[in-house]
């Protein structure tokens, strides 16, 4: 092979390599822009989260295409992972339960004898030094996983799981597991996300079209 042919072959290969690198760079840039464009903004995620679960968002950050939030509700502090593109709930973890209010003891008045004024006795040194017990902070409680909730629901209503949703009510976080039974009925089982207890079972009414 002559030197000119060798040079032309080398230039041809170099042009192919440069074209391949350019195409790869364009594809990566297009994919990055596409992924970035589908990601919800923090404002949109905050609005969607507060509409679904009233409370106060203490923390919100973006992590690997998803969002991680800490939500303070009347039931306690929750860590919620949301899908970055749809805003859907991926997982809910209770970090801290709401503190239980300590009842205030009632002071019973001492009846006066013969109309004499009642003089309250000064508290003793031991009573003054005593202080009400401060409840220790509750350890973080991890909720039942979605797979465990489905398993518990199927133990209550045998069948095939169709869909799983999550929610938070006054009683705390829960799962809603939709189950199709073998006889064609559909049930919605509410599973407590902390204890795994079955809160309720609701049977859906069959459609009119199915009865015809």
Write the DSSP string, 109-168: PPPPSTTPPP-PPPPPHHHHH--PPPPPPPPPBPPPPHHHHHHHHHHHS-SEEEEEEEEE
Domain that holds residue 200: 146-211
6 in a domain, yes or no?
A: no
Q: How far apart are CA 100 and CA 106, in angstroms?
A: 18
Total structural domains within the chain: 2
Tell me, what CATH number does 188's domain have?
A: 3.10.450.40
For β-strands 76-83 and 56-63, DSSP reports them as unpaired
pLDDT in tens, the chain (212 residues): 555 666 667 677 777 777 777 777 676 655 554 445 578 888 888 888 888 788 899 989 988 888 999 999 888 888 888 888 888 888 888 888 877 766 666 666 655 544 555 555 445 555 444 555 544 555 555 678 899 999 999 999 999 999 999 888 877 889 999 999 999 999 999 999 988 899 999 998 766 555 44
């Amino acid at each position: 092979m002559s030197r000119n042919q060798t040079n032309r072959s080398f230039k041809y290969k170099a042009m192919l390599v440069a074209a391949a690198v350019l195409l790869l760079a364009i594809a990566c840039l297009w994919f990055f822009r596409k992924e970035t464009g589908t990601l919800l903004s923090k404002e949109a995620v905050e609005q969607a989260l507060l509409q679904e679960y009233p409370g106060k968002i203490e923390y919100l950050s973006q992590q690997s295409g998803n969002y991680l939030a800490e939500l303070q509700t009347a039931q306690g502090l929750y860590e919620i992972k949301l899908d970055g593109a749809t805003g859907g709930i991926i997982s809910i973890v209770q970090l801290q339960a709401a503190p239980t209010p300590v009842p205030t003891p009632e002071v019973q008045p001492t009846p006066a004898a013969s109309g004499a004024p009642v003089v309250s006795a000064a508290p003793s040194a031991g009573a003054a030094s005593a202080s009400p017990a401060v409840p220790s902070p509750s350890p973080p409680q991890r909720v039942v996983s979605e797979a465990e909730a489905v398993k518990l629901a199927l133990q209550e209503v045998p069948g095939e799981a169709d869909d799983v949703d999550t929610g938070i009510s006054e009683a705390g976080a829960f799962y809603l597991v939709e189950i199709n039974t073998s006889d064609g009925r559909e049930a919605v089982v509410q599973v407590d996300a902390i204890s795994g207890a079955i809160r309720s079972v609701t049977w859906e009414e069959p459609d009119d079209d199915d009865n015809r």
